[in-house]
């Protein structure tokens, strides 16, 4: 058992999977100076089409630039690699985005506006809980990411975070499977098809974390297992949680206070990484969504179906597709501009209170700056997305 665990948490298995998929490091003395697609805009390419350079943002605890782990933030040398299968390269890069903010800020509102608020509320609640546990676990366990070499690193932004468990794998498990559980008794559709889709998404995103060199196999498996346990344990309480959010007059205050406290008292960092800020984004968005849920129920702004489930899934028509497209386009534009405006105002306010300049990038990493301004921004976005946007949709008869 020890040998198996040692192999699953080792970098060689990651490197073997990468080579199997056509991704491998090149020897330093033989590698042509061709940049990866992400870095093409920052350097001049040469003729060889398959040699690439991966940018990395830090070096490891050991101080050696060729390794990875919890780090100081010092820039390191580029690692050159070659890609032999571009289909898998772009497939896994796309799959990796399904665990990032761009996916959360588009899919979750889309689900609320165009599919079913009942389903979206459950997904958001469980997603916020699971992601906090996953992110906090990283900074408690402090397991480093797989080193390079032998692993090829394709991402820079989150490389300073620890690796165990994979929160991408957790997101890719909690969102589709919570969606499945919330819809399987509410709508008439083949549950086998929903299960197949959930498994496919979970598998694809999980494999992408190994392909991009950001997690070991054990990181990914633990992320899936922890999430599965949390979903199963929490499932009997989903209705009770939503009833409390809707009807208890102290629910909004409790949700906002709790999301702020867990962000402020996030596990202490031994070096700065994106983990604390990303976690604040998620839990504060969940707190804002809880406030929006209370508002919508108290003022009866989101009507519930009059009949009992299960419901028929409406057939797609040009009119329905147009309304869905219009709701999403208008909603995402409102969310985008609201995010920019609220973030600017919140950052200016918090920096003024903290006595630092909003232009100082290092000051933004301070606890007293990073958590409050992100908390204000994303808790407000939760209200904008789940209360303001539906109100605009109703006003426009969409």
pLDDT band for 130, please (50, 70, 90 cuts).
very high
Residue 219's nearest CA partner among 155, 275, 152, 170 is 170
For a pLDDT cut of 90, what percent of the chain falls above it? 65
The encoded tokens of residue 334 equal 């409102």
The encoded tokens of residue 81 equal 């690699």
**Active site residue ranges:** 168, 215
C-alpha span between 342 and 350 (Å, rounded): 12
- Half-sphere exposure at residue 166, Cβ-oriented, CA atoms within 13 angstroms: 31
Asked whether residue 49 is assigned to any structural domain, the reply reads: yes
pLDDT, tens digit (0-9, with 9 covering 90-100), for 199-218:
999 999 999 999 999 999 99
Asked whether residue 366 is assigned to any structural domain, the reply reads: yes
Residue 49's nearest CA partner among 64, 30, 36, 63 is 36
C-alpha span between 143 and 69 (Å, rounded): 8
The region of weakest confidence among 174-188, 302-316, 325-339 is 302-316
pLDDT, tens digit (0-9, with 9 covering 90-100), for 227-254:
999 999 999 999 999 999 999 999 999 9
Asked whether residue 351 is assigned to any structural domain, the reply reads: yes
Give the model's pLDDT for residue 29.
57
* Distances in whole angstroms, Cα of residue 241 to Cα of each of 6, 125, 251, 384: 40, 9, 10, 21
Give the model's pLDDT for residue 112.
95
Segments forming the whole domain that contains residue 392: 251-301+319-398
Asked whether residue 13 is assigned to any structural domain, the reply reads: yes
Q: What average pLDDT does this structure show over 267-277?
A: 84
Give the model's pLDDT for residue 35.
46
Give the model's pLDDT for residue 270.
80
pLDDT, tens digit (0-9, with 9 covering 90-100), for 41-54:
433 333 333 444 44
DSSP 40: G
Sheet of 79-83: strands edge to edge?
Answer: 23-25, 79-83, 51-54
pLDDT, tens digit (0-9, with 9 covering 90-100), for 69-82:
434 444 444 568 88
Number of domains composing the chain: 2
Residue 109's nearest CA partner among 388, 369, 328 is 328
Give the model's pLDDT for residue 53.
43
Residue 71's nearest CA partner among 81, 82, 57 is 57
300: left (phi over 0), alpha (psi -120 to 50) or beta: left
Give the model's pLDDT for residue 78.
54
Q: Is 70 exceeded by the pLDDT of residue 294?
A: yes
Give the model's pLDDT for residue 66.
40
Query: Is the C-alpha dihedral spanning 176, 178, 179, 183 positive or negative?
Result: positive
Asked whether residue 190 is assigned to any structural domain, the reply reads: no
The encoded tokens of residue 175 equal 């969102």
Asked whether residue 263 is assigned to any structural domain, the reply reads: yes
Asked whether residue 21 is assigned to any structural domain, the reply reads: yes
Asked whether residue 246 is assigned to any structural domain, the reply reads: no
Asked if residue 323 lies in contact with residue 398, where contact means CB atoms within 8 angstroms, the answer is: yes
DSSP 114: I
Asked if residue 24 lies in contact with residue 81, where contact means CB atoms within 8 angstroms, the answer is: yes
């Amino acid at each position: 058992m020890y040998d198996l665990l040692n192999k699953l948490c080792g970098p060689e298995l990651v490197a073997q999977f990468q080579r199997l998929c056509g991704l491998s490091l090149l020897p330093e003395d033989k590698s042509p100076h061709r940049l990866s697609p992400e870095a093409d805009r920052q350097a001049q390419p040469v003729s060889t089409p398959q040699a690439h350079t991966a940018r990395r943002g830090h070096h490891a605890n050991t101080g050696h630039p060729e390794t990875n782990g919890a780090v100081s933030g010092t820039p390191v040398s580029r690692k050159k690699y070659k890609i032999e299968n571009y289909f898998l390269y772009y497939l896994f890069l796309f799959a990796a985005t399904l665990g990032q903010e761009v996916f959360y800020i588009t899919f979750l509102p889309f689900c609320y506006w165009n599919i079913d608020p009942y389903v979206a509320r459950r997904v958001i609640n469980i997603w916020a809980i699971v992601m906090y546990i996953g992110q906090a676990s990283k900074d408690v366990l402090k397991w480093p990411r797989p080193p390079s070499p032998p692993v090829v690193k394709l991402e820079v932004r989150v490389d300073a975070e620890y690796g165990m468990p994979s929160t991408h794998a957790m997101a890719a498990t909690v969102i589709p499977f919570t969606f499945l559980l919330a819809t399987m008794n509410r709508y008439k559709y083949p549950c086998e098809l929903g299960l197949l889709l959930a498994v496919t998404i979970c598998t694809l995103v999980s494999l992408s974390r190994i392909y991009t060199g950001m997690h070991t196999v054990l990181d990914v498996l633990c992320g899936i297992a922890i999430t599965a346990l949390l979903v199963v344990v929490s499932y009997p309480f989903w209705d009770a949680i939503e009833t409390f959010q809707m009807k208890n007059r102290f629910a909004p205050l409790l949700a906002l206070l709790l999301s702020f406290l867990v962000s402020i008292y996030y596990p202490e960092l031994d070096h700065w990484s994106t983990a604390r800020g990303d976690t604040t984004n998620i839990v504060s968005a969940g707190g804002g969504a809880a406030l929006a849920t209370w508002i919508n129920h108290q003022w009866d702004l989101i009507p519930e179906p009059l009949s009992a489930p299960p419901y028929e899934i409406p057939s797609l028509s040009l009119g329905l597709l147009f309304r869905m497209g219009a709701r999403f386009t208008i909603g995402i534009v409102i969310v985008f501009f609201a995010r920019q405006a609220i973030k600017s105002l919140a950052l200016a306010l918090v920096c003024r209170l903290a006595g630092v300049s909003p232009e100082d990038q290092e000051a933004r990493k301070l606890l007293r700056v990073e958590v409050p301004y992100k908390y204000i921004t994303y808790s407000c976005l939760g209200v904008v997305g789940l209360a303001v946007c539906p109100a605009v949709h109703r006003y426009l008869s969409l």
